[in-house]
Amino acid sequence: MSSIIDKIGEWLHDLLVEGVMSNLTGMMNAVNNEVGSIASDVAETPANFSPAIFSMIKNISETVIVPIAGMILTFIACYELIQLIIEHNNLANFETWIFFKWTFKTFVAVTIISHTFDITMAIFDVAQHVVNQAGYIVGNTTGVTQEQLETLYSTVDSMGNGALFGLYLQSAVVLLTLDALSKIIFVIVYARMIEIYLMTSLAPLPLATFGNKEQSHIGQNYLRSLAALAFQGFLILICVAIYAVLVQNITISSDVIETLWGIVGYTILLCFTLFKTGSLAKSVFAAH
């Protein structure tokens, strides 16, 4: 009778060990896959992320917003010409070269509006290159080696059935937490892209202000805000990469249960930092 009970206990022990290892290795693989997914998502330019949406935004902007930007540019060009004429002692020291200066500045302003989307997409092309390079480095540092898995297996296998059952339940909870985290990351990434589309749709208006020194701060702040949005993807990638490295500690910790609850703490911290990436990027680029 005792031998039957022992066999059942061994069978239950092996079953729990397999279940725990499945959950733990699943978490490690999920983290690694999530890093790769984030690297590809945040590196996408607006044109590549959703070509259909980008085409619609560009068409609306060129049809509706550019004419308004042209009116703003006309007003600013007239204001700039008046300023140039009267700034030399109220016409007392009038010089004809100011007309060439005004013509050049107006030509540059018109060129900027005509190539609005080329300018804005150039910012995201630079950010895409940075994120791609960082994603390649991060993706190579979050994998779990076979030696680490063997160490983890021996730690789990040495535990009793009661501890294994508790560990299995807790690892299942952490798996659900990671799944919820992936949904939060999805929302943050897509919300950022929608904000980018909204910003680029109005791009001709702030860029129309570059023709005048007094009003050009509007366009400068717009470009800083756009750069902040572009490099927010880099900060998101860094946050997820730091989280992945912290989670790797589960493979070397002797107290697996404590490490699992540490992962929960890391997850909460990650959610908080992801929401802070937008304001942090704006502070770095002095955008408001």
Instruction: Let me know: does 210 contact 109? Beta carbons within 8 Å.
Output: yes
**pLDDT tens digits along 253-263:** 566 777 777 77
Report, as an integer, the average pLDDT of 225-238: 89
DSSP string, 165-231: HHHHHHHHHHHHHHHHHHHHHHHHHHHHHHHHHHHHHTTHHHHGGGGSTTTHHHHHHHHHHHHHHHH
Digit-coded pLDDT (tens) for 49-75: 888 898 999 899 888 998 898 888 888
pTM greater than 0.85: no
pLDDT above 60: residue 139: no
Q: What is the pLDDT of residues 271-280, one digit of tens each?
A: 888 888 988 9
Cα Rg of the chain (Å, integer): 28
Query: Is it the case that residue 231 has pLDDT exceeding 80?
Result: yes
Is 159:246 a contact under the CB 8 Å cutoff?
no
Contact criterion met (CB below 8 Å) for 61 and 259: no
- What are the C-alpha distances in Å from 263 to residues 28, 173, 178, 266? 11, 11, 9, 5
**pLDDT tier for residue 146 given thresholds of 50, 70 and 90:** low
